[in-house]
Amino acid sequence: MPPKRAASTRAAAKRSAPQQPPESPPSSPTESSQAPATKKRAAAGAPSSANGSAPKRTKKPSAGGLPDSPAAPSGNDTTAPESLPRNTELPESLHFDRPRHDDSLRIAAWNIVSLKSSEPKGLLRYIDAEDADILVLTETKVNEVPMHPKLTARYKHQYWGIGKQKSYAGIAILSKLEPKNVTYGLPTLRDADSKGRMITLEFENTFLIGTYCVNAGEGLKSMDNKIAWNKAFAEHVRQCDQRKPVIWCGDLNVVHDDRDLAQASKKWNKSPGYTQIECDAHRELLAGTADDGGRLVDVWREQHPDAVGHFTFYGWRGMCRSKGIGWRLDSFIFSERIKDRAKECEIRHECYGPSDHVPIYCDVQGPL
């Protein structure tokens, strides 16, 4: 989901009201997943209308205006299908029997909440089972490059992006392939924390961009930061795409439309990751209208056009996993001209437990 996973304060629910699942979609406790606080009651002595009743207030549009965006809820709120796994711990035995294409490379991405906390919950079992050629880990929360023999044995080339804030954000790309160049953060964004949110690897034929995108924050209080990030990121993608095709993956902290989250009508323009400002910016980026860039394609959606309720994030609070209340915040985005190189893009629905996200992977026709 969008923000960080730092523990956020809980709003006290009225005793008489049934407990509701959280409505915000943060990717981490640090970026709170709680919905904005309710409005305060009108103060005594407020002006009233001629008939003695309180005057009607004009409803102000929030976070981007009226719900005229293509991303706005259609009224068909949903949860994850009952056919999808709802386990809360990683299965003891993992075996992925999907055959790889002979000429393809496997790229996997996972928001792990924290390298330290996810490892004892089965992180390495997943890494062994997936055996991806390139692994993008987001929200690692490491403060220095870890010396990890098991990871080093599998991945000779490791790139760890660490921001300025301690135990916050963080991203790593672990690769069996050596890139030509590596860039940490957004070159045009003067924010040291962007180094803990994005890494770009340049290969011979493509750019691979891994992200843990900025979250708009609890109560949308960090929307200005998100807007600045979106602008700088769109410029970076455009510059890369003009040179070589782009493969972008990781935690995007935004959904495309109401198919990609549960209870959409409750969250529109209220929860980070599902506001008109964010969704329209994401749509413009993909359409190529942001910074005059080339068109990009969400290859998971391209391969699953009718899928509804297939989520990659289920908040730990409120029993969201067992209730099927989630968000599809993680995906693979390709430059349109190479979208056919995405041979298979899937969500590892069963791999929940080490994190409140599940992994995603894409088999890409090589070479990179």
58 class by beta-carbon count within 10 Å (0-12 exposed, 13-18 middle, 19+ buried): exposed
Residue ranges at the known binding site = 111, 139, 251, 253, 356-357
The C-alpha atoms of residue 52 and residue 46 are separated, in whole angstroms, by 11
Residue in 133, 193, 241, 251 annotated catalytic: 251
Q: Is the dihedral of CA 352, 324, 3, 8 positive or negative?
A: negative
Cβ-Cβ contacts under 8 Å for 60 (sequence gap 6 or more): none
Active-site residue, selected from the candidate residues 212, 314, 352, 361? 212
Say which amino acid occupies 175.
Answer: S
Instruction: Determine whether 330 is an active site residue.
Output: no
**CB 76, CB 342: distance < 8 Å:** no
State the Rg of the chain over Cα.
21
97 catalytic? Reply is no
The question of whether 251 is a catalytic residue gets the answer: yes
Binding-site positions for Mg(2+) = 111, 139, 251, 253, 356-357
Structure tokens at 197: 């949110």
177: how many CB neighbours lie within 10 A of its CB?
A: 17
Give Cβ neighbours of residue 15 (< 8 Å, ≥ 6 apart).
none
Question: Computed from CA positions of residues 321, 324, 325, 329, in that sequence, does the dihedral angle turn out positive or negative?
Answer: positive
In whole angstroms, what separates CA 27 from the centre of its chain? Answer: 7
* Contact (Cβ atoms closer than 8 angstroms) between residue 99 and residue 64: no
Identified catalytic residue from 236, 256, 310, 357: 357
Would you give the end-to-end CA distance of the chain in angstroms?
28
* Enclosing H/E stretch for 298: strand 296-298
CB atoms within 10 A of CB 331: 24
Tell me which residues are annotated as active site. Answer: 212, 251, 357
